[in-house]
Amino acid sequence: MIDTKETLGQIASTHPAAMHVFLRHRLDFCCGGAQKFTEACHTAGLDPNDVASEIAVEAEGRPVARWDTKPLPEVISFILNRYHEPLRRDLSVLTEAAARVERVHGKKPSCPRGLTECLVQFDAELREHMSKEEQVLFPAILAGGRGAQLHMPIRVMLQEHDDHGANLRRLRELTTQFIPPPEACATWRALYSGLDKLESELMEHIHLENNVLFPRALNG
C-alpha cells in the first residue's frame, strides 16, 4: 500500500504502477512530482483513498519495474533505449501526420491549425535537450560525477522539462484533449492517439529523470 503522506514523485518511484493511475486522472507526477499526494488528489476533486485503492489494484494486475533501486548506469541505459530513441522516431512520424491533416482538412473548423508548427518547434527543443543529456549530463554521471558538480546541468534540464510540460499542455489545447472529431479520418485519429501516447511516455521519461535519476546523482 502506498504512503499517502508522500509526494506524487515519490509514490511513482516506489510504486511505478501508480503512474498509470496518475496518467488516468491527469495528476502531474513528473514536473509536478513535488506535490503531496493527498493535496494533489483534493485539488483534482478526487478522494485520496479511492486513488490509493486504484493504485493497489493496478500494481497487482500490472507489475512494473522499479528503477529507484537499480544502479544508475542501468537507469540511464533504460532511459536512452526506452524513451530517447523512440521519441525521436515518433516525433518525425507525428509531425508528418499533422502536416497531412492540416493540408487536407485545413478548411474544417475542427482542424488543429498550428499543430504542425507547434510539433516542429517541440521536436527541435526535445532533440536539443536529449543531446545535452546524452553528451554532457549522462556521461558525467556515468563517469562517477555526483553532488555539487552536477547542480548546474541538472538545473538546466529541470527548467527544460518544465518547458516540455508547457508544450504538452499546448498540444492538448490544440487537439481538444486528443479527442478526434466525428469527421476525423484514419490519419487524424492515429495522430491524436499517437500524441496521447507521446504525452504519457514523455511524462514517464521526465519522471524517471526528475524524481529518480537526478536526485540520486545529486545525493549520491
CB 193 to Fe ion: min, Å: 23
How far lies 118's CA from each of 78, 98, 121, 156, 182, in Å? 28, 10, 5, 22, 23
Minimum distance from residue 39 beta carbon to Fe ion (Å): 26
Determine the size of the site formed for Fe ion (CB under 5 A). 2
Q: Which is nearer to Fe ion, 15 or 84 (CB)?
A: 84
Ranges within 145-174 binding Fe ion (CB under 5 A): none
Q: x/- contact string, 96-135, with Fe ion (CB under 5 A)? A: -------------------------------------x--
Across the strands, what pairs with 36? Answer: 7
Per-position x/- string for 179-218, each x denoting binding to Fe ion as judged by CB under 5 A, each - no binding: ------------------------------x---------
Task: Closer to Fe ion by CB, 113 or 197: give it.
Answer: 197
Residues 61-95 as b or e (16 or more Cβ within 10 Å = b)? eeeeeebbeeebeebbeebeeebbeebeebbeebb
Least distance (Å) from Fe ion to the CB of residue 143?
18
Residue 7 backbone phi and psi in degrees, to 5: -90, 170
CA-CA distance, 187 to 107, in Å (whole number)?
16
Name the residue nearer to Fe ion (CB basis): 129 or 146. Answer: 129
Q: Is 112 left (phi over 0), alpha (psi -120 to 50) or beta?
A: beta
Q: Is 69 helix (H, G, I), strand (E, B) or coil?
A: coil
Nearer to Fe ion, 86 or 181 (CB): 86
> Residue numbers of the site for Fe ion (CB under 5 A)?
133, 209
